[in-house]
Structure 1
Amino acid sequence: MPPRLRALHALCLTDPDQKVAATRALAAWARAQLPPDADWTAPVRQGGDDRGVPGRPERPVRVSATAVPARSPFTDEGRAALVHSICHIEFNAINLALDALWRYDGMPADYYRDWLRVADEEALHFTLIHAHLQSMGWRYGDFPGHDGLWNMCEKTRDDVTARMALVPRTLEARGLDATPLIQAKLRRVGTADAEAACAILDIILRDEIGHVAIGNRWYGWLCAQQGLDPLAHYRLLYRQHEAPRMRPPFNLEARARAGFTDEELQALTG
C-alpha cells in the first residue's frame, strides 16, 4: 500500500490507540523500507472525497470552545481536565499531520516525509499525556473537547498554502505561547502529578518548535513558487479564513527558533 494511502487509513481510524499504533507503524515502515526515491506524489482519492475523515471516537463530547468548562488546576479533577485538554489537542494534532500528508498532491517528497515525522511525534505526545491522564484515574473522552483545530483544517482543505499558513504556523504556534503559561500554573500547584505533566510538556514544546518550523518551511516554499509575498499573503489568508485573533504574551524565543522572521515577530507584537 502506498505511504499516503496508509496515512489516510490511519487518519480514518476512530479508536485512539489504533490510530496511534497505525501512525507509529507507518513512520517506522517508511524509515526502514521506503527508498529515497519513493514516489509520494500519486493522488490518493479523487474529487475531494472526505468520507470517514477524520476518524474520531464518540467521546469526548465535542462542544464549542466557549462551552468547555473552566476548572481550577488546584483540584484533582481540575488538573485532570487540564491534562485531558492537552490530550485532546495531541489527538487532533495526529489527525492534522496525517491530513496534511494524504490530502495534497504534487508536493516534493520532503514535504510528505516532514508531515509523517510530525504525525509520528504527535502520536508519541498523545501516548505520553494519555498515560499520565490514566495514572490520575481518568481516560481520554472523560471530559468535553472543542473542535477549533479541525475546523481550520476544514476551511483550508482546498488550499495547501492556506493550510500551512493557518494550522501549523498560526494555531499550533499558539501552543508555543501557551505551554510555558500552563507549566507555570501547574508548578504553582506543586503536586507530583503536576510536575510530571510539566516534564511531558517540555517534550511537547521541544518537538512543537520543529513542527511549526515545518509549517514555516513549506509556507515559504509555496509562496516562493507562486510569487507571493509571505507576510502580505498571510494577512490576506488570516482575514479570509477568519483565523482566531493572536493574543499576547508571545513566546518570541520559541517562535524565532521555529523560523518566524524578525519582520513577522515585529508585526506580531506591533
Structure 2
Amino acid sequence: MTQNVHEAALAAMMLDDPGAKCAATMQLRSDWCVGALEPVPGADDPHAVTVPGRPRRPQLVPPQQLSARRVGTREGHAAMLHAIAHIEFNAINLALDCVHRFRSMPRSFHDEWLMVAAEEAYHFGLVQARLTALGYDYGDFPAHNGLWEMACRTADDVLSRMALVPRVLEARGLDATPPIADKLRSIGDRESVAVLDIILRDEVGHVAIGDRWFRRCCEDRGLDAEACYLDLIARFDAPWPQPPLHREARLAAGFSAAELDRLARGRH
C-alpha cells in the first residue's frame, strides 16, 4: 500500500532529533524509489510550517550576535564546522518542505527534492562526525535562523522559493566554501576539507535543481527569469552575494555569465 509522500515528508521534517530526522529522510528517499510513496495531485498545502522539528539547542540568535572566532583555536575550529552543520540541518528541512508544501508541482519536482533532502542528511552526518572528533556536538554554539525565515517568507509561492532559497541563500555556499576549505587546510584539517569537497560537489547540483525549477516557473508565467530574479531580491530585501563569486560553480549550477557579471557589480 502506497503512502502520501507529502505527509511522509512533513512527518520527517517535524522530528526534533537530528539523528532521527536524518534516518527518516534517508528512509523516505528509499521508500520513494521503490514505489512505497506517491504524490497526491492537488493544490499546495495552505498551512505553512513556521517552526520545523529541531532540537532544543542550538540557541537561535540574530546573525549580528554571532561572534567571529579564530579558526586557529580549537573552539574557533569547532564553531566553523558547527555553522556548516547548522546550514546542512536547515537544508534537510528546506528540501522536505518543498515536497510537503508544493503539491501542485510535477512528480519530478518531488523526486529531485527528496534526493536533495537525502544528500543534505548525508552532509549533516559527515560534518557532525568532524565536530564529534573535536569533542563538540551540534547545538554547542549559537546559530541564526535566516534560511528558515526565508522559507517562511516564500511559503506561498514556489517561484519565489526557488529563486530566493536555492539561487540566493544556498548559492552563497558555493562562494563561501572554497575560502572555508582554505582556512581548514591551513590548520591541517584535511578530513574536514574532504567533507567540504563532497558538499560543494553536491551543492552545485542542488542549486542547479532550484535554478531549473525557477526558470521553468518563470517560463510558465511568461516572465524573464533573470529580470524576475533581480526583482525578487529587491522585493524581499534578500542578501546580495558577496565577492568573490565562485563563477565556475555558479555557471555549472545554471547562472548565466551575464547574470554573474550583473551580480558582481553589486546591488546598485
2:20 alignment counterpart: 18
What fraction of aligned residue pairs are identical, expressed as a percent?
49
Instruction: Summarize deviations over 1:142-175 as a string: whole Å, max 9, x none.
Output: 1101111111111111111000000001100000
SS of residue in 2 equivalent to 1:63: coil
The ranges of structure 1 where at least 4 consecutive aligned residues each deviate by more than 3 angstroms after the TM superposition are 42-45
Contact 1:63–1:144 (Cα < 8 Å) also in 2: yes
Question: How much does 1:50 deviate?
Answer: 3.0
Cα distance between partner residues in 1 of 2:247 and 2:193: 20
The TM-score with structure 2 as length reference comes to: 0.94
Contact 2:131–2:137 (Cα < 8 Å) also in 1: yes
Cα distance between partner residues in 2 of 1:268 and 1:25: 39
Contact 2:82–2:141 (Cα < 8 Å) also in 1: yes
Cα distance between partner residues in 2 of 1:176 and 1:49: 28
Cα distance between partner residues in 1 of 2:244 and 2:104: 37
Equivalent residue runs for 1:119-130 within 5 Å: 119-130=117-128
SS of residue in 2 equivalent to 1:243: coil
1:48 aligns with 2:50: no
1:152 alignment counterpart: 150
SS of residue in 2 equivalent to 1:145: coil
1:139 aligns with 2:140: no
Instruction: Summarize deviations over 1:5-53 as a string: whole Å, max 9, x none.
Output: 1001001111111110110000011112358xx44434574x32537x4
- What 5-or-longer segments of structure 2 have no aligned partner? none
Equivalent residue runs for 1:44-123 within 5 Å: 45=45, 47-48=46-47, 50=49, 53-123=51-121
Contact 1:40–1:112 (Cα < 8 Å) also in 2: no
1:205 alignment counterpart: 200
Contact 1:5–1:44 (Cα < 8 Å) also in 2: no
The TM-score with structure 1 as length reference comes to: 0.94
1:33 aligns with 2:31: no
Cα distance between partner residues in 1 of 2:151 and 2:63: 16
2:247 alignment counterpart: 252
SS of residue in 1 equivalent to 2:245: coil
1:149 and 1:50, CA in 2 relative to 1: closer, same or farther beyond 3 A?
closer
1:242 aligns with 2:237: yes
Contact 1:60–1:145 (Cα < 8 Å) also in 2: yes
Cα distance between partner residues in 2 of 1:172 and 1:39: 26
